[in-house]
Amino acid sequence: MPAQGLSMLESWTIDPWLIAWLALPALLYLRGALGMRRRRGAARTAAFLAGLAVIWTALASPLEAFAPLMLSAHMGQHLLLTMVAPPLLLLGEPMVPLLRGVPSAIRREWLAPFLAAPRLRRAMRRLVHPLVAGPLFVLAMFAWHVPSLYELALREPAWHRVEHACFLVTAVLFWWPVVGPAPSRAWWPRWALVPYLLVADVANTVLSAILCFAPGVLYATYANASSAIGVDALADQARAGAIMWIPGSIAYLVPAAWIVVRAMRPARLVPGGSRRVARESERVAGHEAPSSREREEARSVSLPQLAVRRDARRRFDLLRVPLLGALLSRRSIRTALRVAMLMGAIAVVVDGFSGPEEAPMNLAGTLPWTHWRGATVLLLLVGGNFLCMACPFVLPRMAARRFARASARRESPRAERAERAPGSASRALAAAAPLLRSKWLAVGVLVAWLVVYEAFDLWASPWATALLVACYFGAAVLVDSLARSGAFCKWVCPLGQFHFVQSTLSPLTVAARDPGVCATCTTHDCLRGNSRADGCALDLFVPRKQGNLDCTFCLDCADACPHGNVGVLTSSIGGELRSDAWRSSLGRPSRRADLSAVAIVLSAGAIVNAAGMTAPMLDLIARSAAALSMPRWVAASALVAGSIGAIAALAALAAAPGRGWSRRFAAVGLAMAPLGAAMWLVHFSFHLVTSWTTAWPVSVRAVRDLGVGTMEPAWSDSCCTNPPEWLLPASLLALSLGLSLSIWTLARRCASHAGAASAVAAAESRVTRIAVRLLGSLLLVALWAIAAWVLFQPMEMRGTLGWEVAP
């Protein structure tokens, strides 16, 4: 192959992020178009996919590589992004297919209220008005060709991407009135678009002429690069102007001529002698005028497409997946999972007490803090609360419960029936342990957990980790012996509270497959239990259960249901945070300040816990301890507790104190959960990605210490690896998604329109609701900024050999 051809091939860029961003709309479009295949032609699908392919060509082909060196290559990019890709995308009429391609839960819970907002619809309609879209497009073209801005885009890759985004967005707005993608309605008659296109062509001609006939090189970067690549910079600038002039004029004049020709076509005769006037104003992108039914669908496209109510029988059910569903449905398999986790916990405890003192060489110093935490956040993200399903701490409780039940059955069968009677669980819990009736105890335990972890470096002490696990078992047995079984999980366990709150963003939930079956059920075995299986230990009644809060995924309700009507179904991500509907065992979240406090502590703790391993925070703790002549653990405790308290105080202030404050506090507190979950994901994933190899050498060492194997551990695997390049952008993306979902949750909970899932009473003043939205959003943005700042700091590579602060 000639050297020039090989060089061109090597200049293609394979950017995974660009491919992912283009693949997502392609997949959504195809998914939506497949459901409309009877009403859509293949040409529209091909046009949309071709538009995406043109964008990829502009940004990944050799044009991107040569853009900083040759103005003509850069101009080729602009031509593709402004005059080729946007018309193709709009010819594909993407609005309805993209909406139909989004999962119905997201479409219904997230997009429907957002896209149906009257202000948004008015704003979008005004943006595509020719008198707005045209000037915006021309202004963007001229502004970015000003030498100072153009040079900025050449020097800074971030600004280069902003430039391309401006061109693409304004071009889509510009071409929207021309193409008129269904189901949009035209502002102007078709003939009025001819001068609209001609004015744009005149502006394009002026800018092209400036480039072609300029006496000197306008952009210093190209003048400096010309000698290096052997290209005359002034001649290349003239070529760039010609590229912009001739193909650009063709792009404007051809559709203008097409509109004129279509407008001059005579009226057509239809059978029967009647005349049908095919008015251009009723045509969209050259297609036939829509029928009355299609026109009616077009008027309300956003709401019917968004408000699709999903039949429960068609929802994905994990328990009906071949093999996997059958395994999870078996109580013996779930018990085996708990036994396996128990064996792992015992190994951690034994090795923590008897193994090496260095944390990276001990099972207790690596598996719980690196691998278990990383697996937890990933499982919660892609599935549900499966770690609680496999929790080993419930095994002693299960054994004690069965022993007590057998004893009670021998002594008095009537006592067992009384235990299963509705409401007896709540009365027994209140009588046995008055403190175990709210999550305030869990709030205190969570704060203590976060403080002790950072103050005493639990991650660096295998002995302390082993003691913690052993105490966990003891606490579970003790609490459940004082109160009804399940009280530890529901009211005390800090890990359980973490899983509960994070699982509100999980795509799966334990729910009734057919609510109609539950409506006719008279035994309510899912709650009470029966001779075959126990009912829900956390007092969750499946027909009134909503989401994953307080649900451990134990599936005892599925075992007890005589109708086989309980499954693990898909759910709206974060839907239970936005809804204030009454739910079993919890009531209304807006009346549960303790639940909001748990969410606030976990969200604040996510940022404080991650910041605790950064160099600035470590230096601040050391300097504070030295300045105040106090032990390090005291300074660390004060700093962690003070930071969490400060964030909680800001959340309370953002709720605008006054009448109805508790409901607004719940809105702000629960809205913080998505951002906190994103920070936990980023933090724990960082450790998992950079230190996942540490599990192998410590496992080899532990097995060898038992005298089973002779393999030498490869301690080089216990050293941390450099974070991959994709980790930081992915982390920032996760934080941004968490922020967006948090702000959206806050807006939904503060909404007062009829039918909204609102936690703020409709009687409250509109000014108060706006203040809560504004103050809460400012708090969320500030927390996001702090979290993003943490990602850019040098970090302590905990759990690895040589865990000193690394950049």
User: What's the pLDDT at 11?
Assistant: 65
DSSP 572-628: -TTHHHH----BTTTB-GGG-HHHHHHHHHHHHHHHHHHHTTBHHHHHHHHHHHHHH
Give burial (CB, 10 Å; 0-12/13-18/19+) of 177.
buried
- Whether residue 301 is contained in a domain is answered as no
CA distance 568 to 563: 15
Question: Mean of the pLDDT values across residues 562-572?
Answer: 90
pLDDT of 446 over the 90 cut: yes
Q: Are 93 and 50 in contact (CB under 8 A)?
A: no
Count structural domains, the chain.
2
Q: What does the block give as tokens for 202?
A: 């005149």
Q: What percent of the chain has pLDDT over 90?
A: 30
Which of 511, 527, 668, 645 shows the shortest CA–CA distance to 593?
668
* Residue whose C-alpha is closest to residue 207's, from 327, 325, 78: 78
Classify residue 402 by burial, with Cβ atoms within 10 Å: 0-12, 13-18, 19+: exposed
Q: Which domain-ending residue is among 228, 246, 264? A: 264
801 secondary structure, DSSP code: B
Where is the domain boundary, 264, 286, 312?
264
Tell me whether residue 470 is in a domain.
no
pLDDT for residue 283 is more than 50: no
Flag whether 744 is in a domain.
yes
Residue 715 clears pLDDT 50, i.e. is over it: yes
Residue 529 pLDDT exceeds 90: no
In contact, 578 and 651? CB cutoff 8 Å: no
Q: What is the pLDDT of residue 311?
A: 44
The pLDDT value given to residue 54: 93
The verdict on residue 618 lying in a domain is yes
pLDDT at 260: 76
Residue range 333-344: mean pLDDT, rounded: 92
Cis peptide before 157 (omega within 30 of 0): no
Residue-level pLDDT at 565: 92
Enclosing domain of residue 795 = 591-806
**Domain assignment of residue 387, yes or no:** no
Please tell me the predicted confidence (pLDDT) of residue 652. Answer: 92
Distance CA 381, CA 502 (A): 8
Q: What is the pLDDT of residue 33?
A: 84
pLDDT per residue as tens digits for the range 492-516: 899 999 999 999 999 999 999 998 8
Q: Does residue 290 carry a pLDDT above 70?
A: no
Range from 150-164, 182-196, 388-402, 438-452 that averages highest in pLDDT: 438-452
| pLDDT band at residue 336 using 50, 70 and 90 as cut-offs | very high
Residue 81, amino acid: L
Range 558-584 average pLDDT: 89
> Is 315 contained in some domain?
no
Identify the pLDDT of residue 672. 96
Q: What is the pLDDT of residue 243?
A: 87
pLDDT at 717: 76
Distance CA 466, CA 446 (A): 19
Among 491, 489, 497, 485, which residue's Cα sits nearest to residue 450? 497
Residue corresponding to tokens 């060709």:
145
Mapping DSSP to helix (H, G, I), strand (E, B) and coil, where does residue 788 land? helix
**C-alpha torsion angle, residues 681, 683, 685, 688 (rounded to 10):** -150
Judge contact between 462 and 525, C-beta under 8 A: no
In a domain, 686, yes or no: yes
In which band, very low, low, confident or very high, does the pLDDT at 402 lie, cut at 50, 70 and 90? low
Q: Calculate the average pLDDT of the chain.
A: 81
Residue 766, SS3 per DSSP: helix
Tell me how far apart the alpha carbons of residues 263 and 256 are, in angstroms, rounded to a whole number.
11
Residue 802: its pLDDT value, please?
Answer: 60
**Final residue belonging to a domain, choices 225, 242, 264:** 264
Residue 244 lies in a domain: yes
